[in-house]
């Protein structure tokens, strides 16, 4: 593999850049004025954890959860399921909403719990 040195495009080969009267070392070339351009192999090592997840060879997506995963979400979904005042469609919608809230927030917030419980419990 052969490396080629090129003039740094950020500092123009000076090695320093000036901003509002202050002179700082160029972050691109680290003050050398030159930029090394590698020819040939380019390392594309996967460094993110998500890159190491194994995917299904058939391309099938992971199964969607059918019940909330947090304790608070499962408890709230149980209250929704056992409600005598809600229709089955309303129960299904609320349970889906609980699972979506868990996905986006990581847990069921107190405000969300109160909002859903207002819909579940009959007005006195």
Q: How does pLDDT run along the chain (124 residues), one tens digit per residue?
A: 455 667 888 888 888 888 877 888 888 888 888 876 666 665 666 666 666 666 555 656 667 778 998 999 999 999 999 999 999 999 999 999 999 999 888 888 899 999 999 999 877 6
Beta bridge partners of 25: 16
**DSSP assignment of 50-96:** GGGPPPPTT-PPPPPPSS--SHHHHHHHHHHHH-SSS-HHHHHHHHH
Quote the strand ranges of the chain, DSSP E: 3-7, 16-19, 22-25, 34-38
Domain ranges in the chain? 3-38, 71-120
The whole-model pTM stands at 0.50
């Amino acid at each position: 593999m052969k490396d080629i040195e090129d003039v740094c495009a950020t500092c123009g080969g000076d090695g320093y850049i000036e901003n509002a009267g202050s002179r700082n070392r160029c972050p691109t070339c680290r003050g050398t004025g030159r930029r090394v351009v590698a020819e040939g192999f380019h390392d594309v090592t996967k460094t993110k954890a998500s890159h190491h997840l194994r995917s299904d060879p058939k391309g099938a997506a992971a199964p969607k959860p059918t019940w909330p995963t947090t304790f608070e979400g499962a408890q709230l979904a149980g209250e929704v399921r056992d409600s005598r005042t809600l229709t089955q469609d309303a129960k299904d919608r609320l349970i889906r909403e609980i699972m979506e809230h868990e996905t986006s927030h990581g847990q069921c917030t107190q405000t969300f719990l109160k909002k859903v419980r207002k819909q579940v419990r009959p007005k006195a």
